[in-house]
Amino acid sequence: MKHPLDRTDIDNAWCPGCGNFAILKLLKEVLTELELDPKNTVIVSGIGQAAKTPYYIGTHMFCGLHGRALPVSAALKLSNPALTVIAEGGDGDMYGEGGNHFLHTIRRNPDIVHIVHNNMVYGLTKGQASPTSQKGFKTPVQVKGVNNEPFNPVSVALALKAGFVSRVNIGNYTHAKSVLKEAFLHKGYALVDVFQPCVVFNKVNTYKWFKENTAEIEDSHDSSNLLSAMQKALENAPVPIGIFYQTMQSTFEENLRGDDTRALYSLSHDIDKLQLLFGAY
């Protein structure tokens, strides 16, 4: 069944059965149900299979360099605070090439939703280990198995006191949808790490594996307690999914522009004042 946000002028390059399809469906449904205007929505991505997501949805998009979606997203939100800005990509793009930007975007706290398709492998380049690949995972490159400690984006985000930190399993669709909605309603940076299988290059972390190795965070969990959230983030048998932590703090754009929410393109510039400013330096 077609969705109003479907694009019909482009072919989809994902493999049949890929978890990206469900994440795309989830995103379209959430944007629609929250009545977010696609004309005021921008999805920013880098490189990778997950980074193709904005090609397949009827919003504005920007596809840039590998790992660079987050600084572009922050700049967009700063230049026009009225926009809904989404940064989207895979675990290699966001936590590998974009690892530095991941850290510093959290520190700045722009009001953006950060969706990471986490399949624990580089799918676009045919199956190398990614930052989140588990120890022992064998690939055509890591033939004896990965021996590095896997990157834990949730615990890193918590260590930097990100305003909204969550993880979901796309195989648990209803739960994932409720969490993603909360991320969009949060004011400030919101991380949604999405477990999703790569059906071609990761034969270990399958739909079945994610179902058997994840568990929803208990209702009794206090998501305002940072220490409790960090303890939860370090659990791995099973891996918790849900909202680990949420707190409100001033955003990047508020800190730099105060209450001025006008789009920069709508402003005129006083050339004389600019010349005086330049002259002062």
- pLDDT 10s digits, 201-224: 999 999 999 999 999 999 999 999
Tokens 């069944």 correspond to 1
Residue 6 CB: number of other CB atoms within 10 A? 13
Q: For domain 19-280, is the CATH number 3.40.50.970?
A: yes
61's enclosing H/E stretch is strand 60-63
Say whether 189 sits in a helix, a strand or coil.
coil
Asked whether residue 1 carries a pLDDT value surpassing 80, the answer given is: no
pLDDT for position 255:
97
Residue 163 CB: number of other CB atoms within 10 A? 21
Asked whether residue 184 carries a pLDDT value surpassing 90, the answer given is: yes
| Residue 8 to residue 162: CA distance in whole angstroms | 37
pLDDT tens string 10-63: 899 999 999 999 999 999 999 999 999 999 999 999 999 999 999 999 999 999
3-state helix, strand, coil in the chain (%, to 5): 35, 15, 45
Residue 170: which pLDDT band, with cuts at 50, 70 and 90? very high
For residue 40 the two structure tokens come to 């005021």
pLDDT for position 9:
86
Residue 8: which pLDDT band, with cuts at 50, 70 and 90? confident
**What are the extents of the domains in the chain?**
19-280
